[in-house]
Amino acid sequence: MEENRSEMEEKNIKSSEHFIKNTSLNKLSKRSGIKTLSTDAYPIIHDVLTNKMIEVVDVIKSVNAEHGTRNIMLRDAEKALKILGINMTFK
């Protein structure tokens, strides 16, 4: 049952192809010093972000399962990101 739910969530994330709009990606790229983005790059970036999002959500759910609650808390997200090697703190 849990696998089916995870597969359904993955399909939902992938079906919402543009959960980050191209204009937002363009702004992010400009912030990082990229002058222009080719239109061919957008689908690739969307795929990478989608796969990373699925990975992060899976780890957050695993961390959250340790607490035995159904609510994802900020500390769960921070711990999951740290497990993935992403050092990020939220205020």
Give this prediction's pTM.
0.65
- Where would I find the H helices in 1-91? 2-15, 22-31, 41-67, 74-83
Give the chain's length: 91
Q: How far apart are CA 41 and CA 39, in angstroms?
A: 5
- pLDDT of 16 > 60? The answer is no
pLDDT, position 18: 61
Dihedral, CA of residue 87, residue 50, residue 44 and residue 32, to nearest 10: -30
Residue of 32 and 7 predicted with greater confidence: 32
pLDDT in tens, 52-84: 889 999 999 998 888 788 888 888 888 899 999
**pLDDT computed for residue 75 by the predictor:** 86
